[in-house]
Structure 1
Amino acid sequence: MKNFLFKLYLDFIKLILRWTPTNENLYVILNGSGRSGSNGYIFYKYLKSSHPEIEAVLVEPWPSSHLSWQTWKKIAAAKYIFTTHQPFKIKRKQICTDFWHGIPLKRMGFMAANDSYQNDLHNMKIWQSKADRVVSSSALYDTLMSACVGIEGKKYVKTGFPRIDALYKPVISKKQLLQSLFKVNDEIGKIGIYMPTFRFELNDKKIMNKIEEGNFFAFSDFDGEEFNKELQRLHHYLIIKLHPYEMKLFKATEQQYSNIIFLENNYLEKNNLDLYELLGSTDYLMTDFSSIYFDYLHLNKPIIFITNYLEKYEKIRGLLITPYQNVVPGTVVTNQSELLDQITSLNPRDFESKRNYWLKLSYTVSSQDNCKRNFDTLN
């Protein structure tokens, strides 16, 4: 019902504002990615710093029914619109560039086992009618995205993703990150980050109950105190970045650890940061099926893959590239004991050739100056 009412609201807005005069100098970024690897936010910061001659407007959160009338007028007047999720524009003459928000490993749209054909068909029509340019990094990306949402090949532009620029130029050093988040000065400290995908869609109350109880890995052998003690011994510090929904569940029983911090969006927003602007200062990544691992390949640092519910995920939603163990460029673990063993013996050289192989396959454009390339190719 809410979706239906929001659609009516959007239709009403479009009808009223469709005759708004176009401002050739106005660029509007519709950011639906928050601050967790947002192409939109990183591109907005680039526009503000490198192109003062144009007007750049950031709209977040998006989509929203709580935007001011002035904001809607800006959206309607913009010559250029940039989106991080589904494409959007009010007038035909507007140019919509879709950045999307990750190289997909998980099935979605037509390829997903848990989606409806009618919904997928509707979304495909939106992509066909609203997206003028779809930012891409490789032929592999084109193939994966087109399989899922039916994008025409001619819409892709090989300009690379703005968020990759932030990986190569972190605005916070590792020393500063340790001081800011952990309040320590550890010259030999290593920083890991754990970013799982959205696990609610597994529709498993047992997993959600574990997270709610403070078991952020949803391991069967989870012991937070033991895990923290081992991190202390190794001089390792772990940043946990959960999906906002999971973070709300977890907050009620959140424990305080010396070497584990739970990073929320309010920290990033308060410091005018995107997660990717500090990600380059970490030493290793832990994830499951999140597309962040494709981006992390640019750093050529270790990745640990946590797969305690891999079989269930493959059944409910599915993966685009399999078998999983042969695809991912890193060690696969299923419980806390295995994870601690891997952290203890972490070696940056392990899986290096496999990381480089997948980077070259998934990113065939230059890794540098993605923001500039996106701006320069608009006209």
Structure 2
Amino acid sequence: MKNFLFRLYLAWMKFRARFTTMENNNIVILNGSGRSGSNGYAFYKWLLLNHPEYNTTLVEPWPSSHLKWEVWQKIGAARYVITTHQPFKVRKHQINVQLWHGVPLKRMGIMANNTRHRDNKRNEKLWHKTADVVASSSDLYETLMSACMAIETKKYHKLGFPRLDLLHSPVISKAQLLKDLFNTEDEKAQIGIYMPTFRYELEDKTIMEKIKEGNFFAFQDFNGKKLNEELKKRHQYLIVKLHPYEMRLFANFKSQYSNIAFLNNDYLFDHNYDLYELLGDTDFLMTDFSSIYFDYLHLNKPIVFVTNFLQQYERTRGLLMGPYSEITPGISVNSEQELIANLDHLDNQQLANRRLYWLHLTSQVKGDSYCENVFKFMTQEYRG
């Protein structure tokens, strides 16, 4: 019922917004990705700096039923509507540029095990009717996205993803990140970041209970104090960036550990950072089934894959490629014991070669700036 009412609300606001006057130099970015690797936010910051002649508006969170009418007027007045999730525009002559939010690894849409046929058909029609430009990184990306969303090949354009521009130019130094999150100085520091995917959809209450108790890995053998000591011995520091829903389960964001820190959205919003503006300062990534690992390949740094819920994910939602061991260029760990046993040798030449192989498969776009690629294409191809 709530979904129906929200769709009704969107339809009504779209109808009203159509009567505003559209201007060719108006750009609206509907950011549904927060600050955890947002193509929309990265593109917004780039536009403000490089093209002040355009009136650029950032709308977040999106979608929302709490937007002021003035915001809807700006959406209606935009020539270009940039989206990070579902395509959207309020009038036929607007140009929707779809940046999406990552190379998909988990199944979505018609490929997923946990979606409804009616919803999938609605989404397929939405992409067909609304998306004008779908930014792409590779042939593989287009194949995966079309398998899930039935997107026509003519909509794809190999422009790259704006957030990748942020990886190689961190906004603060590694020393400052260490000071901000761990309140320490350490010239030998290796900073890792753990970013799991959304585990709530596994519909397993025991997982959420473990996370609520502070077991952010949801390992059976989790011992936070022991893990912290092992990290400390090696001058390693672990940033934990959970899904916002999971972060809300914690009673206290402040870590009781010296070498483990929780990164919440408040830090990012307070400093006007996107997470990708900090990733370049890290030395290794830990994840499970998140597509962030495809982006992290651009840094050519070690990746550790946490597999304790692999079978549940394959059963509940499914993965687009497999076997998992063949598509993940890094060490796999299934427990804290395995993680600690691998802390001294996170990388080797074989893993580095596999990372390069997957980078070539997922990134075929040339150019010094993906933001510039997107801007030039949309403004030159659709001059108005």
Residue 174 of structure 2 is matched in structure 1 by 174
In the aligned structure 1, how far is the partner of 2:249 from the partner of 2:357?
Answer: 38
Residue 366 of structure 2 is matched in structure 1 by 366
In the aligned structure 2, how far is the partner of 1:30 from the partner of 1:251?
Answer: 31
Q: How far 1:255 moved relative to its partner? A: 4.5
Residue 294 of structure 1 is matched in structure 2 by 294
For residue 226 of structure 1, what is the amino acid of its counterpart?
K
| Secondary structure of 1:344's aligned partner | coil
Contact 2:331 2:346 in 1 (8 A): no
Q: How far 1:61 moved relative to its partner? A: 0.3
Contact 2:255 2:262 in 1 (8 A): no
1:231 to 2:236 alignment: no
Matches for 1:11-90 after TM superposition, within 5 Å: 11-90=11-90
CA offsets 1:243-271 (integer angstroms, 9 cap, x no match): 00000112358651111110011100000
* Structure 2: gaps (5+ residues): none
In the aligned structure 2, how far is the partner of 1:173 from the partner of 1:357?
Answer: 29
For residue 23 of structure 1, what is the amino acid of its counterpart?
E
Matches for 1:138-149 after TM superposition, within 5 Å: 138-149=138-149
Contact 1:36 1:276 in 2 (8 A): yes
In the aligned structure 2, how far is the partner of 1:122 from the partner of 1:294?
Answer: 29
| Secondary structure of 2:249's aligned partner | helix
For residue 115 of structure 1, what is the amino acid of its counterpart?
T
Contact 1:286 1:303 in 2 (8 A): yes
| Range moving further from structure 2, 88-97 or 366-375 | 366-375
In the aligned structure 2, how far is the partner of 1:338 from the partner of 1:111?
Answer: 32
RMSD: 1.1
Aligned residues: 379
1:342 to 2:342 alignment: yes
Residue 183 of structure 2 is matched in structure 1 by 183
Contact 2:114 2:316 in 1 (8 A): yes
Residue 114 of structure 2 is matched in structure 1 by 114
For residue 342 of structure 1, what is the amino acid of its counterpart?
N
Contact 2:304 2:346 in 1 (8 A): no
| Secondary structure of 1:172's aligned partner | coil
- TM superposition score normalised by structure 1: 0.98
Contact 1:128 1:152 in 2 (8 A): yes
Contact 1:165 1:367 in 2 (8 A): no
Q: How far 1:206 moved relative to its partner? A: 1.0
Contact 2:159 2:365 in 1 (8 A): yes
In the aligned structure 1, how far is the partner of 2:166 from the partner of 2:319?
Answer: 27
For residue 273 of structure 1, what is the amino acid of its counterpart?
Y
CA offsets 1:130-162 (integer angstroms, 9 cap, x no match): 100000000000000000011000000100000
- TM superposition score normalised by structure 2: 0.97
Matches for 1:119-130 after TM superposition, within 5 Å: 119-130=119-130
For residue 42 of structure 1, what is the amino acid of its counterpart?
A
| Secondary structure of 1:192's aligned partner | strand
CA offsets 1:327-366 (integer angstroms, 9 cap, x no match): 1000111000101111122236450000000000000112
| Secondary structure of 1:218's aligned partner | coil
Q: How far 1:18 moved relative to its partner? A: 1.4
* Structure 1: gaps (5+ residues): none
Question: Among the aligned pairs, what percent are the same residue?
Answer: 58
| Secondary structure of 1:351's aligned partner | helix
Q: Sort the Cα spacing of 1:253 and 1:353 in 2 relative to 1 into closer, same or farther, 3 A.
A: closer
| Range moving further from structure 2, 351-360 or 254-263 | 254-263
Contact 2:96 2:131 in 1 (8 A): yes
In the aligned structure 2, how far is the partner of 1:307 from the partner of 1:205?
Answer: 18
| Secondary structure of 2:57's aligned partner | strand
| Secondary structure of 1:377's aligned partner | helix
| Secondary structure of 1:187's aligned partner | coil
Contact 1:113 1:318 in 2 (8 A): yes
In the aligned structure 2, how far is the partner of 1:370 from the partner of 1:137?
Answer: 10
| Range moving further from structure 2, 369-378 or 251-260 | 251-260
In the aligned structure 2, how far is the partner of 1:340 from the partner of 1:172?
Answer: 29
| Secondary structure of 1:251's aligned partner | coil
Contact 2:333 2:339 in 1 (8 A): yes
For residue 44 of structure 1, what is the amino acid of its counterpart?
Y
Contact 1:29 1:58 in 2 (8 A): yes
Q: Sort the Cα spacing of 1:175 and 1:348 in 2 relative to 1 into closer, same or farther, 3 A.
A: farther
Contact 1:301 1:348 in 2 (8 A): no
Q: How far 1:326 moved relative to its partner? A: 1.0
| Secondary structure of 1:81's aligned partner | strand
CA offsets 1:74-97 (integer angstroms, 9 cap, x no match): 000000010000000000000000
